[in-house]
Amino acid sequence: MPPQLQLRDIRLTLGGAPLLDGAELSIAPGERIALVGRNGSGKSTLLRIAAGEAAPDGGTRFVQPSARLRYLPQEPDLSGHATTLDFVLAGLGETDDPYRARALMEDLGVDPRADPARLSGGEARRAAIVRVLAADPDILLLDEPTNHLDLIAIEWLEKTLAESRAALAVVSHDRRLLADLTRATVWLDRGRTRRLDQGFAAFEAWRDTLLEEEELARHKLDRRIVEEEHWMRYGVTARRKRNMRRVGELATMRRERREERRAEGVATMAAQDARSSGALVIEAERISKSYGGRPVVRDFSTRVMRGDRVGVVGANGAGKTTLIELMSGALAPDSGVVRLGTNVAMAKLDQKRASLEPTTTLSDALTGGGSDFVQVNGERKHVVGYMKDFLFSPEQARTPIGKLSGGERGRLTLARALSQPSNLMVLDEPTNDLDLETLDLLQELLGDYSGTILLVSHDRDFLDRVATSVIAAEGDGGWREYAGGYSDLVAQRGYGLSGARVAEAPKAEKAPAREATERAGAKRKLSFNQKRALERLPGQIAALRDEIAGLEAKLADVDLHGRDPAGFDRATRAYADKRAELERAEDDWLALEILREALEA
């Protein structure tokens, strides 16, 4: 089937290095594509080029003449319109139905009479979503559609997109949305694109395999360079007469190594622990808070123990930030009592990044000014080294915060919060503007954190991975606590926050751990084969690790390739095969362990 939209060999240079260097994107009718990559890799730029909003330095763009295309930018512009209804209707064609636009506005809670200049980020995002959906397009290009949306709106959007006939290319940090909606993945990395004809659920394992293969190829190139340099210096033939062909080959290899664009590093995060708090961290007894006669929190009680990870969810305006401020003692309740336990040391990350002054430099924001060092885990660390841990370059040390991107401000706020000694971390929307790799590291950090966490988030996958319980808004100031993450809340209630049962991903797209947990509800015990596999896999994993260690030691021999090229190639192939086999065995063992624990519980 011919594509409805196709980008070929797209090139674009901003500043010194090329941002896009031969990138491609092809969208067939009805196709659902996740466009993924690091912050700053050029995803938004590629979508803008696909939408015809930006021109590349080189390459071609083709769109079927009959195809109706709509583009949702990351920062929608509503200026020049008197009302949100005017803004939405301006996006319709002559044959489009204005009643559909009004119906979508009502579904998503968009006030048609509102002044666009006075809208919050979430309200502007909802209006922009209605505008692109109302035209019933053939192609939808969506850049971070869930930004500033609450969980109710996210679930509505996911359901609406799932039912749409439009082809879709979406950039998002919302893993659950990507896993549930997409059937193909395009990875933009170092200016070039690679395509996987599977949805986002399969992407991360595929990406890791490609990076391992790339590292192995780089290892082989390094070894060849060492061998050729050894020949140049010490070879008998070289001392008598230079072999110009080999000299040229060495120069070529060195140039390839020098010019190779390596995968960008990942942020290195570590929270600074204070000494442990008491076993009881927070106790709230029948607390209430109202604003203008409207109850935001009504008669709520809870106890938070050391090591708990408590998520807070609800619609925008439900009072999530108010609730965590009451629980952390930052805000006094109208009635009821909040008690903090002994030795509580708190670190906070606020939703609006309000503590970041636009004129303050990045270095001063981390050190407090007047110093070049940050205190991390009892040790003085130079601010430039700490910046590198969060993917900032040394040149950015004197950059004003107002010049940073949204993702960079998010990383900076995390860096500030994590440098404070704490045993209670209060995080209000920590995932805003973070890329998927940084989200992974934040999840690992919170998993290893020895203290207690209060967390507001609209990211369902993040809540499932981090939270041990979730407090949900029930309306009219009521709040209720559910054990487990967001998926557990849905299982206990039978529906999500939107009031409608959340659609599940196709079975083939589910992650092994999630699938194993779901299977636990249908079975009461492990099968005979599953028990045997669970007993066998640890020994198999240990044996594979021993084999891999032996192969690594063999490949570390710098003379192996020159002495035995065939043996070197065999060892290289065996190393890649054993690594893949180990990964499969570990995944199988993890899925079975999760199933066993769920059954025992």
CA pair distance 338, 323, nearest whole angstrom: 11
Q: How far is CA 316 from the centre of its chain?
A: 21
> How many C-beta atoms surround the C-beta of residue 574 within 10 A?
16
Q: What are the start-end ranges of the H helices in 235-261?
A: 236-240, 244-259
Q: Which of 536, 528, 520 is nearest to 591 (CA)?
A: 520
Query: What number of CA atoms fall less than 13 Å from residue 122's CA on the CB side?
Result: 15
| Kind and range of the H or E run holding 163 | helix 151-163
Specify the DSSP class assigned to residue 265: P
Sheet holding 294-305, edge to edge: 294-305, 280-291, 335-340
3, 12 in Cβ contact below 8 A? no
Q: Give residue 258's pLDDT.
A: 54
| pLDDT for 519 | 38
Per-residue model confidence (pLDDT) at position 419: 77
- Identify the pLDDT of residue 375: 75
Q: Check: CB of residue 70 under 8 Å from CB of residue 135.
A: yes
pLDDT at 508: 35
Helix axes 565-600 and 203-234, enclosed angle (nearest 10): 150
Token pair listed for 427: 């995080």
Q: What is the pTM of this model?
A: 0.68
Pairing of strands 58-63, 469-475: unpaired
Quote the CA–CA distance of 318 and 152 in Å, as a whole number. Answer: 11
Q: The sheet that has 424-428: what strands, in order across it?
A: 346-349, 424-428, 452-456, 309-313, 469-475, 478-483
pLDDT of residue 28: 95
Kindly report the length of the chain: 601
CA dihedral 515, 502, 157, 45 (to 10 degrees): -10
One-letter-per-residue 3-state SS of 497-528: CCCCCCCCCCHHHCCHHHHHHHHHCCCCCCCH
* Structure token pair of residue 213: 């293969």
The Cα 412–Cα 249 span in angstroms is 44
Read off the tokens for 2: 């011919």
- Report the alpha-carbon distance of residue 454 to residue 574 in Å, rounded: 46
In the predicted model, residues of the chain with pLDDT beneath 50 are: 236-242, 502-524
Spatial separation of the C-alpha atoms in residues 307 and 315, rounded to whole Å:
27
Q: Which domains does the chain have, with CATH numbers?
A: 5-205 (3.40.50.300), 280-504 (3.40.50.300), 528-600 (1.10.287)
In eight-state DSSP terms, residue 143 is: E
CA distance 70 to 164: 13
Cα 129 from Cα 147, distance rounded (Å): 11
Tell me how far apart the alpha carbons of residues 338 and 327 are, in angstroms, rounded to a whole number. Answer: 7
Bridge partners of 340, per DSSP, are 282
